[in-house]
Amino acid sequence: MNDVSFSISPGEVLGLVGESGCGKSTLGRLLLQLLRQSGGSVEFDGADLSRLPTQALAPFRKQAQIVFQNVGSSLNPRLSVGEALERPLTLFSLAKPRDRIRRVEALLDMVRLPAVYRKRFPHQLSGGERQRVAIARALATEPRFIVCDEPVSALDVSVQATIVNLLAELQAARGTTLVFISHDLAVVRYLADQVAVMYLGAVVEFGRVASVFAPPYHPYTEALLSAVPVPDPDRQYARILLEGPVPRASEVLRGCPFASRCPRKVGAVCDDTPPPVHRLAGDHRIACHIPAGELATLQTALVEPQREER
């Protein structure tokens, strides 16, 4: 992972998108210091977490939580829902023993599950119910920062919508800062304030949602957007199929990480020289050898309706 730099303001949602294997989950774990980076820094409230020893991270652990992608393996099958939700309350001394059942039931109510669910075990729940329990567990410490690592990827579409709406409601009500990791650009567009587009361990584009979803885009972002279904028969989007080899994650690249697959590759400069970062309006950044103005000209047709001659 190289040259990954961004900041998230309190109460905002950052959408983190990209293909499988690009480093999204690794970045999420680095932000929470579940993994330690070999260089750079991770700051929270002005404190550099990477300089703190593991035992000194306890106050941060209360403030920052995660909802894992594979909720089936992140919930202990031997613990009931109530016991799983009591664990963080006990660990951080957030409730006296006599008050824990009431706190557990309040957490279940927060994620729209009946109080009787505290006696059930993970195998007795549907996928959507297990995900709600995972969200309730993340909320138990009243965190200010949560990483949601593809929390709806394994769920049916209708259940996905329910979970995404629940996250949106909880985030708005509590003012929690979220990093939402997803393959689904439509969900990210609905939920996020900012978007970071990752490719092979690098952030190739970053900015506010309105900026990232309108030209100019990085050519990789353009390819991702071309695959998003559009519910309008009059809007014909040119699908971009990426070809070419994908470099190994361990391979040291001299130029742009997307060069081997880029449909807008300029030439040898893309292979040999790191791309410059174009800074556009606000905090919108695109790392590409093609000037931003030229990208905008090339990509305008992608978002304009293309009607057949009658």
CATH number at residue 111: 3.40.50.300
- Residue found under tokens 């109080």: 115
> Is 237 inside any structural domain?
yes
72/182 same-domain check: yes
Nearest-angstrom CA–CA distance, 272 and 274: 7
pLDDT of residue 233: 66
Same domain, 68 and 124: yes
User: Which residues have CB under 8 Å from 65's CB, separation 6+?
Assistant: 137, 138, 139, 141, 143, 145, 146, 147
Range of the domain at 66: 13-34+61-192
Please tell me whether residues 257 and 148 are part of one structural domain: no
Whether the predicted model's global pTM rises above the 0.85 cut: yes
Q: How many helices (H) and strands (E) does the chain have?
A: 12, 10
Share of the chain above pLDDT 90, in %: 68
pLDDT in tens, 201-247: 999 999 999 999 989 999 999 999 888 877 766 665 678 889 989 88
Q: Which residue shows structure tokens 């909880």?
A: 170
107 shares a domain with 238: no
Q: 279: which DSSP letter?
A: E
**Mean pLDDT lowest for which of 62-66, 104-108, 293-297?**
293-297
Do 94 and 122 lie in a common domain? Answer: yes
Looking at the fold, whether 80 and 151 belong to one and the same domain comes out as yes
User: Cα separation of 295 and 75, whole Å?
Assistant: 46
pLDDT reported for residue 304? 46
Residue 4 pLDDT exceeds 70 = yes
Q: Assess contact for 220 and 260: CB atoms under 8 A.
A: no
Q: Is residue 48 part of a domain?
A: no
User: What is the structure's pLDDT at 230?
Assistant: 72
Q: How many structural domains compose the chain?
A: 2
